[in-house]
Amino acid sequence: MFDILHRVGVKTSLDTVYTALATPEGVAGWWTTDSTGDSKAGGRIRFRFSEHGKDIGGFDMKIVELVPNASVVWEVVEGPGEWVGTKIRFTLKQEGDFAIVLFKHEGWREPVEFMYHCSTKWATFLLSLKSFGETGTGRPAPNDVKISNWH
């Protein structure tokens, strides 16, 4: 199994970052504006992406774990085959003025080229989360940072 790892520090409270991860309204501020669903463990969240107004797919996640100001874990139940069954884990902690986010997208079966792409995209979205937490404005899709011919 192969994992994507990232670490960012958001100069705000743990509570602000946790809310941005634990609710669809929060995730809409930094990953994709089209985030809908539950805010409790065992529930589901649906993330959709579009380009020029056209749906280009997305992910359905089961909310595996929600520990206030400490962790959020999703499991991918629908989406691209490479993602299904993988987990996305956010672990939070305070360090000085920063809410630190340790990110792990774990359980990729093979380090396919799509995994390289997703690793870089996740970095841009975590920096979007940082900006959202610090300024109130992130860069969720469809206004996300384009990194290549793949998006």
Amino acid at 17: V
CA-closest candidate to residue 123, choices 96, 142, 105 = 105
Residue 14 C-beta: closest distance to its own copies, Å = 14
124 binding its own copies? (CB under 8 A): yes
Residue 96 C-beta: closest distance to its own copies, Å = 6
64 binding its own copies? (CB under 8 A): no
139 binding its own copies? (CB under 8 A): no
Using alpha carbons, list the distances in angstroms from residue 106 to 1, 2, 73, 75.
8, 6, 11, 10
Burial class, 97, CB count within 10 angstroms (exposed 0-12 / middle 13-18 / buried 19+): exposed
Please identify, using beta-carbon distances, which residue of 39 and 69 lies nearer to its own copies: 69
Residue 122 φ/ψ, nearest 5 degrees: -55, -40
Residue 102 C-beta: closest distance to its own copies, Å = 6
What would the two tokens of residue 142 be?
A: 């469809």
Question: Reduced to 3 states, what is the DSSP secondary structure of residue 126?
Answer: helix
> Judged by CB under 8 A, which of 17, 73, 115, 141 binds its own copies?
115
Residues within the interface to its own copies (CB under 8 A): 2-9, 95-98, 100, 102-104, 111, 113, 115-117, 119-120, 123-124, 126-127, 130, 145, 147-150
